[in-house]
Structures are given as structure tokens and as C-alpha cells.
Chain A
Amino acid sequence: MGTAFMVLCGAATLVGVVALVVLLADLALDGAPRLSWSFLNSFASRFPERAGVKAALLGSVWILALTALIAFPVSVAAAIYLEEYAPQTWVTRLIRLNIANLAGVPSIVYGILGLALFVRTLGLDRSIISGALTLSLLIMPVIIIASQEAIRAVPSSIREAAYGLGATRWQVVRTQVLPMAMPGIMTGAILALSRAVGETAPLIMVGAVGFIAFAPTGVFDSFTVLPLQIYNWISRPQEEFHQLAAAGILVLLAVLLTMNAAAILLRNRYQSRR
């Protein structure tokens, strides 16, 4: 009985692993031959041999950098407020609950909000800034929750020690709480950003374009991102474009893995320092 259960659980584990391996192998077989410097350095084209991911890669980098720039400080500030300043009332609890709920809202809903608010009402048009603002809204709840947890993990004895020496609330936060919580906050932020880099739906809503043949030069330029470019290629009938899509997915995976590795590295550095 016990053995059967173990085998069953083992098989369940294998389902995930095998699926991932098959997927990656299939992708690598299709995409690897297409990976080259010119693939990374060429714009989209209707000729498969000349097409590349440059616009999409640059678009993703622009969006990602801008999203990080907007979402990170706002989220950390919100988390600090909720953990260190806000009185423990039902209003605070309601806000906390709502942030947790927001983290579970489907991303397309954020896309609709972004379209109505940033693209139309604020007149930012279908630009990088609209996309970045929309993705910021999407990942802010995730970063806030991760930051709250990191801040809560700072031992209260450290806060007491600082208060006991005549530190103001701001000094306690700046000199003790934030430095100790920062690795945890960074890890959460990077994982949230790696979610953002794979998002497609909200960016389609705010008007990411499938075909861009220039490098963005500012935040008001129109843009495309890797997942969208991949989707665009996949939906074409020619086999060559499917290979390009596979190569694009490999690029996207490389970006994602780099970000996750950075998150793990940060966490390990933090743990070894303690």
C-alpha cells in the first residue's frame, strides 16, 4: 500500500518534469538553429531569414525597466506604510485584504483598466509608458505582499533596540528595517518582474503592436514585447516563422532564467550574511 502510494506520487512528479523536458527539447530543436547574433539584432520582417527579435527584446527591456522604476518605489513605500505606520484598524485590514485579492485579479482586467485610464483618459496613447504603468499596477500587489513579509520578518527586538536609543520612526525604518528587509524585497520584486516580462494580454489591451521595425527611443514610442512577437510568429502559416517563434521563446526563457537566478543569488547572499 505504502509503496503504491510512493510510486503514484513519484509518477505525479514525473508528469511535470517530463512535460517540461519535452517542451524544452522541442523548443531547442526548432529554435536553436535560428539563434544567432543577427536574430537578436534584426527587426521583424516578412522574410523569415531576415526577421529578428530586436524590437521585441528592446521593447521588453524598456517596459521592464520602466515598470521596475515605477512599481518598486511605490510598492515598497506602500508596504512600509502598512507595516510600520498604519494603525491597526479595520480600514488597514480591509486594505491588506484587498491588496491580497488584487494579486489574484486576471491580468486582462488590468489591461482594460490601463486602456481606459492611461491610453484614453490620460492621453498617453499606445506607448511604452502606458504599457509600463499597466504592468506596474499588475505587479504592485505582488511586490507589496512580498515587501510586507520581508519587513515583518525583521525581528521586533531590532526595532525596539533602535527606538530605545531615541530613534524616530523614520530613522528606525531607514537604518534598520529597510536594510534588513531589502534582500527579501528585491527577491519578491524580481519574481514579480519576471511575471511581468511574460505578460501578453494586458499589453495587447493597451496597444502593443505586433510589427515594429524600429528601436524605441523614448517612453512615448509605440512598442512590442517578446511574448507578443512570439504569438505573432506562431500565428503565421509558414514553418520558418514557427522556428523563429521557438527561438524567440528561447530568448524569453533566457531573460526569465537570468532574472530568477539573480533573485536566488540575492537571497543566498542575504542568508550567508546572517
Chain B
Amino acid sequence: MPTIYDIDTGGKAPALEARDLSVFYGSKVAVKEISLTIPANRVVALIGPSGCGKSTLLRCLNRMNDLVSGARVEGEVAFRGKNLYDTDVDPVEVRRRIGMVFQKPNPFPKSIYENTAFGPRINGFRGDLDSLVEQSLRQAALWDEVHDRLSDSAYALSGGQQQRLCIARTLAVKPEIVLMDEPASALDPIATQRIEELIYELKKEYTIIIVTHNMQQAARISDYTAFLYMGELIEYGPTESIFTNPREERTEAYVTGRFG
């Protein structure tokens, strides 16, 4: 019995809506008939134990799962009134408008400038690339640290800086939604804090969906939290109520650290 959790989006159209979304790897079900609404300009956290399907769900939201051979998606994801899985939808276009930041910082083996400019370049950006790069690096709170060495290799940056570069690179394409797959899990506490502050800033302009295994992080940065377990959406609601007053026993057991 799939559960549908609707969220009060304050009269604004939701940024994204999953309806009865299931994902299969071969015959294995990774995500079971999940429905949830992502409100615009909010941070939504997906939490749950390893292997619960939270990363798989995230990758469905911009069709990154297309790249995994043997992955099959059922159900729909509505984005601006269109199902992302309709046959006339170009997954490349989807990924331009719904960007993604990955678990491990994965800059290209190029300069800081070229990393940031890559997205606009391949998308045929015409205009002032220099100022777009600067703007994106500023948005990612990296500009002050790198403005005098834009031509240095991205590999010369620290892990935290690399991850902020990856965020800047994503923002340079001007997406509407940014998906983040445990973006701080490979970083030290100080770098993590910077990323969290950054996410707080970014939600003014973007909708952010973040997968995290760190419950304190989810509690700190997200407005809404979805708890997944064994591929099912157990509970979804305002972060505060998920953490202080969960309706489901399993949610409570997980957020209080009794399993996971």
C-alpha cells in the first residue's frame, strides 16, 4: 500500500513530484512505489540506512539512472507539468535543468576556470563566460579563495574546495533544482560546515534535494525530511516533526539511533 505524503507548498507549484515511482535493478526492487512532493526553494533531505534506496531515488529525479545498465524505472516524476520519463523528454535536457553534486568531489582534470566553464560551454552558452564563472564561484563561496589562481589545476584544491568547485560547476549551468548525493560525506567537519552554510544560502534561488546518512546534518539544514527504509518511503514531513514527533515507530527508531 503506497503512502502519499502531500506537503503544503504554500500555494506555490511544487518543484518536483514523484508519483508511484519504482526502480528495479534487474529483478531486484530498489525503490518501491514512492510518491512525494518537493516544494520549491526548500531543502529536502532523504535519510535512511545504507541500501534503503535513497541514492537510487535521487538519481531517478534527473534521469542519471538511465546510465546504469539494467536499471528500470516505473511511475512518473512530474517537473513543470511534464513527466520526466515521457518518451519525448530528452534526458540530457533534464540533467541541465536538474543538476547533481556527487558524494566524492569529482572535478575534471582541468583548471578551476575550465571546470566551472565546462557546463556552459557544452550547452552552447553565448555571453560573458568570465562573469558567469565568477558569479558561480561566488555563489559556491569559493571565489575569494581561488580568484587569483583560476588557471591552476582543480586537483590542487583541498577536498572541501573541490566539492564547492563541483557545486559552482553545477550552478554555472543554471539549474532549477540541485540534487546532492551525500555531498559532505568525504569531507572534514570544517569543510562540511562550509557546505552546509552554502546549502542554506542556495535555497533562496534553488530547490535542493540532499541525500545524507548524517541525521544531525539533515536536522540542521533541511526543511523537509523523507525517511526511507528497504526501498519504501516510511515517513515524509517537516524536518522538525520527523525528528521530534515522528508518526512511525521505525522513523523514531532510526532518528534516535536505535538502528541504521
Point out residues on A near B: beta carbons under 8 Å.
Answer: 87-88, 155, 157-168, 171, 175-176, 180, 273-274
Contact = CB atoms under 8 A, between A and B. Distances in A.
B109 A166 contact: no
Interface string B172-216: 010000000000000000000000000000000000000000000
Given A87-B69, A165-B170, A157 B64 contact: no
A4 B70 CA distance: 54
Contacts of A165: 95-96, 99, 118-119, 122-123, 169-170, 173
B93 interface: yes
Contact of A164 (B69, B93, B100, B109): B100
Contact of A163 (B69, B70, B95, B107): B95
B108 A88 contact: no
Given A87-B69, A88-B69, A161-B166, A166 B92 contact: yes
Nearest to A157: B106
Contacts of A180: 109
Interface string B99-141: 1111010111100000000110011000000000000000000
Secondary structure type dominating chain A contacts: helix
Contact of B108 (A87, A163, A171, A176): A176
Contacts of A175: 118, 122
Contacts of A157: 102, 104, 106
Contacts of B104: 157
Given A158-B106, A165-B123, A168-B92, 9 more contacts: A157-B102, A158-B109, A160-B64, A160-B100, A161-B102, A161-B106, A165-B173, A166-B96, A175-B122
A160 B102 contact: yes
Nearest to B103: A157
B67 interface: yes
Nearest to B115: A161
A161 B108 contact: yes
A166 B106 contact: no
B62 interface: yes
Contacts of A162: 108, 118, 122
B115 to A, nearest CB: 9
Which among A155, A160, A166, A171 has the highest number of chain B CB atoms within 10 Å? A166
Contacts of A273: 109
A168 B119 CA distance: 11
Interface string B58-88: 0000101001011000000000000000000
Contacts of B106: 155, 157-158, 160-161
Nearest to B69: A88
7 contacts: A158-B106, A161-B169, A162-B108, A162-B122, A163-B95, A165-B99, A165-B123
Contacts of B107: 161
Nearest to A274: B109
Given A161-B166, A176-B108, A166 B102 contact: no
B152 to A, nearest CB: 14
Nearest to A166: B96
A164 B118 contact: no
Nearest to B90: A168
A160 B119 CA distance: 13
The 4 A-B residue pairs with the shortest CB-CB distance in the complex, in nearest-first order: A166-B96, A157-B106, A165-B119, A164-B100
Nearest to A175: B122
A175 B121 CA distance: 11
Given A157-B106, A161-B106, A166 B173 contact: yes
